[in-house]
Amino acid sequence: MLKVLSLRNFAIIDRLEISLSGGLTCLTGETGAGKSILADAVGALLGGPGGRQQTGKPGAESERSGEESAVEGIFDVSGMPEVMALLEEKGLPSGDELAIRRIISPRGRAYVNGSLASVSTLQEIGERLADIHGQHDHQSLLKADRQLKLLDDFCTASGLYSAYIDKYRELAELKNNLSGLEAGRLERGQRLDMLLFQRDEIDKAALSASEEDELKSERTRLMHADRLRALSGDVLVWLKDSESPALAAVGEAKKALREMHGLAGSLEETLKLIEGAEVSVSEACSAVRDFERTLEADPERLSVVEERLDVISRLKKKYGETIEDVLAYREGIEEELRVLSGREEDLGSLKARISEAEAALLELGRKLSGKRKAGAGEFGERVRSELSELGMERAQFKVEFYPQERPSLHGMEKAEFLFSANPGEGVKPLAKIASGGELSRVMLALKVILSDADNVPTLIFDEVDAGIGGKTAVAVGRKLKEAAMNRQVLAITHLPQIASQAGEHFVVEKNTDGRSTKVSIRRLRKDERVREVARMLGGDESKAASAHAAELVKRGGGVV
């Protein structure tokens, strides 16, 4: 529950701090005193809009004179494990007390237990801490999705609906993925055809990494075979076949060196060099002769070599600078073909998953429908009973279902609350016939009924008692007090019958000195409370009015 609320420069409030307790607390004051600013402040604290300006327009940031606005609240969250778990999930400090501070400015900031937090995080936390019903919030009862949510809460079907909506979103995502895959199917087919052509073209060439150099060398020999044969003959003549061939000269030199070595005994190394030269020249002659035998003009073979080199050149222009690059590109083709083939398999798998998700969604939808319809009768009876206690003894209320052919975001059906305030009138949609006061009482009746299912510890009612009075106002006050038996209820009201039921009573006052306007709030003492109730009764300060006020407070449970 909310223990402390502090405001600074918020709307027409300079500074304000109040301590709150459990049970029913009422806030009253003259019309226009600024009572609703407190509800706005709590709403801002829990991630809502930044409040209202002095003009009363909601949603505007509550800065004044260029100063930052600040709202701070301290909540008791002991015994609320879901809040502790959420704080831990968000990486925020946790404990039995939760302090939220929000700075409202163009660059607003929010802090949870001293750590910076986003407004969306405040909203997630806030929906677990407080439920605020403003002067026009009962209009939410006119929305079909809100009506279904209230019915689900009563039927304890919220968990089943959560499972349904998770499956609904999963199915929507699967269908989006399928649309994306099918949209790219033609493009993938074209890509697949091109890759298969490229792979076949490279495979048909049967490339090897070293063949290009070998082919170029062979082409050179074939193109210059005659010249190479002539040069080979010249080499052999000079080495072996001339009148003074090199090989014969080296042999004669070797003989002379042997004789010199025999006589001098110091030319062994020189002799080895000459002997090695003789062997080298002999081997060179053999190599040249063998090379000469390979030389043959072969136009047909040259044409084959040229064609092969042309194939290699074309593939290099298309797929890489070298044969190695072309072969690497071929490997890449294989990988992409595996991916594209896998996508076709994914398409089939995705369709199977969609069928499974559709079946599961239908099953959840049927279970949800069954639970809703099973609880709708009791729900209507409970609402009628509560409305009777709120002065609408002859009111009728029921839930009408409208089945849908396909599952929607809200289930397998739409639902509508049907209502009649007066006997003899047939039930019609709540949105068409209920007045503001009647809607307020329907909202209050629902809150009382759902108090066990709804574990939000703080309820704030901002003048939801509009359009009622007399005995009905007394009944509404009692219902608010009943709703506050196991939680904190803050009621901003203009009715003395409701204020007299409160365990704590605060008055909001607006003062002006002609230059500025300030709002203050204070807890009323016993005697002050009677005077305030007397003022609310009509402003008469007579003994009779005071006695009436004292009696109301006494009957409401207050001490006079």
Q: Is 362 exposed, middle or buried (0-12, 13-18, 19+ CB in 10 A)?
A: middle
pLDDT computed for residue 3 by the predictor: 94
Q: Which residue has the tokens 């003062």?
A: 511
- Mean pLDDT, residues 397-408: 90
As a whole number, mean pLDDT of residues 251-264 equals 73
pLDDT recorded at residue 53: 38
Torsion (CA) 9, 15, 17, 23 in degrees, nearest 10: -60
Range with lowest mean pLDDT among 119-133, 301-315, 389-403, 542-556: 542-556
Region of 514 please: left (phi>0), alpha (psi -120 to 50) or beta: left
pLDDT confidence band for 268 (50 / 70 / 90): confident
Mean pLDDT score, 80-98: 89
Q: In this predicted structure, which of 188-192, 339-343, 381-385, 518-522 has the lowest mean pLDDT?
A: 339-343
* pLDDT given for residue 242 in this prediction: 62
Quick check: 32 and 519 in contact, CB under 8 A? no
- Residue 63 confidence (pLDDT): 47
Instruction: Identify the CATH number of the domain defined by range 1-135+453-523.
Output: 3.40.50.300
Is the pLDDT score of 57 beyond 60? no
Taking the domains of the chain in order of start, what are their residue ranges?
1-135+453-523, 189-319
Q: Contacts for 227-236 with beta carbons within 8 Å, 24 or more apart?
A: 228/291, 228/295, 229/292, 229/295, 232/288, 232/289, 232/291, 232/292, 232/295, 233/292, 235/284, 235/288, 236/285, 236/288, 236/289, 236/292
Mean pLDDT of 318-342: 83
pLDDT band of residue 541 (cuts 50, 70, 90) is low
In angstroms, the Cα distances linking 301 to 213, 217, 307, 487 are 16, 13, 10, 101
Residue 54, pLDDT > 50, answer no
User: What is the token pair recorded at 216?
Assistant: 């170029």
Q: What is the DSSP string of 471-525?
A: HHHHHHHHHHHHHTTTSEEEEE-S-HHHHTT-SEEEEEEEEE-SS-EEEEEEE--
Q: In this predicted structure, what is the pLDDT of residue 467?
A: 67
> Is residue 350 within 8 Å of residue 177, measured between CB atoms?
yes
pLDDT, position 369: 94
Residue 345 has pLDDT above 70, yes or no: no
Q: What element of type H or E holds 76? A: strand 69-76
Higher pLDDT, 516 or 332: 332
